[in-house]
Amino acid sequence: MTTVTRSRDEVDSALFDLQDVRIVAKKAHGGESTIVSSAALSVRRGESIGIVGESGSGKSMTAKALIGLLPPGVHASGQLLYRGENLLDADERRWQAIRGREVGLILQDPFTMLNPVMRCGRILEESLLPESIRDGRTPREEALRRLAEVGITDESVIDRYPFQLSGGMRQRVGIAAALCRDPRVLIADEPSTALDAATQREVLDLIKRIQQARGMGLILITHDLRVAFDTCNRLYVLYAGSLVEVGDAQQLQAEPLHPYTQGLLLSEPPVGRRVEKLVAMPGSVPIADEVQGKCTFEPRCRWAGPECRDGAPALAEVAPDRLSACVKLPEIRQEMNSLRTFAEQVAEVTAADRPEPILQVREVGKTFGAGTHGVRALDEVSIQVGRNESVGIVGESGSGKTTLARVLVGLETPTEGEIVIDGTTFGEWAKVRPEQRRTMRSNVQTVFQDPYSSLNPMRTVGWTLREAVVTHDHEAANPKQRVGELLEMVGLPAGYARRLPRALSGGERQRVAIARALAVRPKVLICDEPTSALDMSVQAQILNVLTTLRAEQDISYLFISHDLAIVRHVSEFVYVMYRGRVVESGPTDVVLDDPKHEYTRKLLESIPGEPG
């Protein structure tokens, strides 16, 4: 049972007050499975709280319980007090009166909030209450005012459909729609995860500004600790359906008081420095029912002992206004601090000449369409990757990063310019002799952002890897043995060859995708946002795997990312792209420590936690 002790004043002033909330789902063949075993939190007027944790921790289901949108077959018990009323006893009619008017919701993907067949103006007008339209304004005029509140001053947006807007613009319209009924509490469920760094900063600043101006309570659901530290006053750390730590955001950032929270912190590469190796937590989040009756984090904790398996630890006060569910904290606290100090040591970077290039792009351009309707996606782009060198490419969505990657592997044909791969120069893949093309495709492989979409869901891992092996080497002596070696390279047991992709976690699927790319023994691996869809701890595992593989396989990386912290960690040289052009390049630490171009500075300032 999780009970957070509060004063009478705190209880009375809380807009939302949860105590001992349990969320379960009915199983198809009877019985129930636990999603959230015990949750407790409160949010007051004008306060920002964050619920943080990895996928599977129960964050989003907690958010859905807060607004009465649990899916069929899932129900919650306990106390969910809103201004003194237990909403878990409310019927759907009461919830309809609560949603929008009392509690607003912003989702990760604005497409799920906005009707795709309605113009933005109509979406807002239908969300408005009669009493919200004042001073003689028409509904359209009020909709325009609401758009201006979220920073949209272009009045033509009101007549556009959601698909005609950029991701950041859609999210702004979604925020305006969520605020149309002037709610007292705003729930934001991963509102910036799908956005690039600059747009993410704009959306988060917008939410904070409006929340503070209106005095709303804000509940932010996120897996990104940088975002949580930058946005919230207080954090609730959720793991496998249980709260493991609660505290002031800045205090928690300075010293986490639970091994899981510390693991999340150390899994995230710092922006301002390069570290030797990320401290990755082993494994992944278990199902809540699998860890009942003990510390939920025990299977992954380096300090776990018999006492951690002897009943579920209570969430108890361990410092002023700090709660932790770690029974071993008094004896391991100093060691946790030492580990954090060790993990934060700056890696030494020795300046060196760039190695002989194995991949070069020479003044490559790419235009989609023709004439006045043509879109210039790449404009005289020149880059190079040396042997056993890791090169980063950074930029916002639309900067040309992915188009460049597609040109390099033959999925797009450049309009002009030339590419050199291991000494072979060409302008178009189609004009390369078949035998040369086969060799070059083996030399350059790609790991994509979404590993599930890049794996055949109907084929086992072993079949997928074996196909990659024999396709590029018809005379492979022992393909089965090679499959086992590939799995071992990426840190997976050979037995995973019998599994289907749906039986794997996101991190395990990405490891399989990397193994498939390695099956042809490439000289260059293009990594296109390979960790952006993963939790922080899984991201750290994958980045460490890539670091190890580079040392063992003598492989080069072209690492495409919008996350500057990751680029600093994995690359020695970086190119900054903006609107299809390279606007700055140089050794990674030099560029990120002393950027010369205004756009690079903007990217750095957009990082949560950095001065904006």
- Would you put residue 58 in left (φ > 0), alpha (ψ -120 to 50) or beta? left
Q: Exposed, middle or buried: residue 427 (CB in 10 Å: 0-12, 13-18, 19+)? A: middle
If you ran DSSP here, which 8-state letter would residue 10 be given? H
Cα–Cα nearest to 86, from 105, 63, 65: 65
pLDDT category of residue 13 using cuts at 50, 70 and 90 = low
- DSSP per residue, 186-198: EEEESTTTTS-HH
Residue 544 lies in a domain: yes
Residue 489 lies in a domain: no
Are 57 and 162 in a shared domain? yes
User: Cβ distance 187 to 103 under 8 Å?
Assistant: yes
* pLDDT recorded at residue 530: 87
* pLDDT recorded at residue 11: 47
If you ran DSSP here, which 8-state letter would residue 109 be given? S
**Average pLDDT estimate for 469-478:** 77
Are 527 and 397 in a shared domain? yes
* pLDDT recorded at residue 397: 81
- DSSP per residue, 302-349: TT--GGGGSSPPP-EEEETTEEE--TTHHHHHHHHHHHHHHHTPBPP-
* pLDDT recorded at residue 470: 87
User: Cβ distance 177 to 123 under 8 Å?
Assistant: yes
**Angle formed at CA 467 by CA 465 and CA 470, multiple of 5 degrees:** 110
State yes or no: pLDDT of 419 exceeds 50: yes
Are 580 and 433 in a shared domain? yes
Q: What is the mean pLDDT of the chain?
A: 88
Residues 6+ apart with CB under 8 A from 471: none
* pLDDT recorded at residue 611: 42
Q: Exposed, middle or buried: residue 131 (CB in 10 Å: 0-12, 13-18, 19+)? A: exposed
For residue 548, CA distances in Å to 54, 187, 522, 587 come to: 24, 40, 15, 21
**Average pLDDT estimate for 146-169:** 89
**Average pLDDT estimate for 300-305:** 94
The pLDDT tens digits of the residues spanning 212-240 come to 999 999 999 998 888 899 999 999 999 99
CATH code assigned at 240: 3.40.50.300
Are 399 and 304 in a shared domain? no
For residue 447, CA distances in Å to 370, 480, 513 come to: 31, 22, 6
The pLDDT tens digits of the residues spanning 478-509 come to 888 899 999 998 888 889 999 999 888 778 88
Are 235 and 264 in a shared domain? no
Residues 6+ apart with CB under 8 A from 118: 126, 161
For residue 460, CA distances in Å to 167, 384, 496 come to: 35, 36, 9
Q: Which domain holds residue 432?
A: 357-459+523-605
* pLDDT recorded at residue 359: 94
User: Cβ distance 588 to 568 under 8 Å?
Assistant: yes
Residues 6+ apart with CB under 8 A from 92: 68
**Average pLDDT estimate for 129-136:** 80
User: Cβ distance 418 to 599 under 8 Å?
Assistant: no
Are 235 and 130 in a shared domain? yes
Round to whole Å and give the CA distance between 415 and 285: 47
State yes or no: pLDDT of 612 exceeds 80: no
* pLDDT recorded at residue 194: 64
* pLDDT recorded at residue 382: 96
The pLDDT > 70 percentage for the chain reads 96
Residue 172 lies in a domain: yes
Are 182 and 95 in a shared domain? yes
Strands 234-239 and 217-222: unpaired
Strands 74-82 and 14-26: antiparallel
**Average pLDDT estimate for 465-479:** 81
Residue where a domain stops, chosen among 250, 273, 302: 250
Residues paired with 99 in a beta bridge: 103
**Average pLDDT estimate for 585-608:** 91
The pLDDT tens digits of the residues spanning 33-79 come to 999 998 899 999 999 999 999 888 999 899 899 999 999 999 999 99
Cα–Cα nearest to 447, from 567, 558, 571, 572: 558
Are 382 and 425 in a shared domain? yes
**Average pLDDT estimate for 335-358:** 82
* pLDDT recorded at residue 8: 47
pLDDT category of residue 432 using cuts at 50, 70 and 90 = confident
Amino acid making up residue 110: P
Are 416 and 563 in a shared domain? yes
User: Cβ distance 34 to 288 under 8 Å?
Assistant: yes
**Residue with the two structure tokens 């928690």:** 252
SS3 607: coil
**Residue with the two structure tokens 């912290």:** 565
Task: Give Cα 434 to chain centroid, integer Å.
Answer: 40
Task: Give Cα 5 to chain centroid, integer Å.
Answer: 33
Domain total of the chain: 3
Residues paired with 317 in a beta bridge: 323
SS3 420: strand
* pLDDT recorded at residue 424: 87
Residue 421 lies in a domain: yes
Residues paired with 44 in a beta bridge: 14
The pLDDT tens digits of the residues spanning 48-60 come to 999 999 888 999 8
Round to whole Å and give the CA distance between 444 and 61: 41
Helix (H), strand (E), coil (C) string for 444-487: EEEECCCCCCCCCCCCCHHHHHHHHHHHHCCCCCCHHHHHHHHH
Strands 217-222 and 48-52: parallel
Round to whole Å and give the CA distance between 513 and 546: 12
Residues 6+ apart with CB under 8 A from 186: 103, 104, 105, 106, 178, 179, 207, 211, 216, 217, 218, 219
Residue 245 lies in a domain: yes
If you ran DSSP here, which 8-state letter would residue 42 be given? E
Are 192 and 49 in a shared domain? yes
State yes or no: pLDDT of 571 exceeds 60: yes
User: Cβ distance 36 to 22 under 8 Å?
Assistant: yes
* pLDDT recorded at residue 2: 55
SS3 515: helix
**Average pLDDT estimate for 390-419:** 91
Are 588 and 531 in a shared domain? yes
Residue with the bigger pLDDT between 416 and 8: it is 416
Residue where a domain stops, chosen among 222, 250, 278: 250
DSSP 3-state helix, strand, coil percentages of the chain (rounded to 5)? 40, 25, 35
Residue 312 lies in a domain: yes
Residue 516 lies in a domain: no
* pLDDT recorded at residue 438: 81
* pLDDT recorded at residue 146: 92
Residue 541 lies in a domain: yes
Are 372 and 302 in a shared domain? no
Q: Which helix (H) or strand (E) holds 526?
A: strand 524-528
Q: Where are the beta strands (DSSP E) in 234-297?
A: 234-239, 242-248
**Angle formed at CA 543 by CA 241 and CA 193, multiple of 5 degrees:** 55
pLDDT category of residue 610 using cuts at 50, 70 and 90 = low
User: Cβ distance 240 to 288 under 8 Å?
Assistant: yes
Residue where a domain stops, chosen among 206, 226, 250: 250
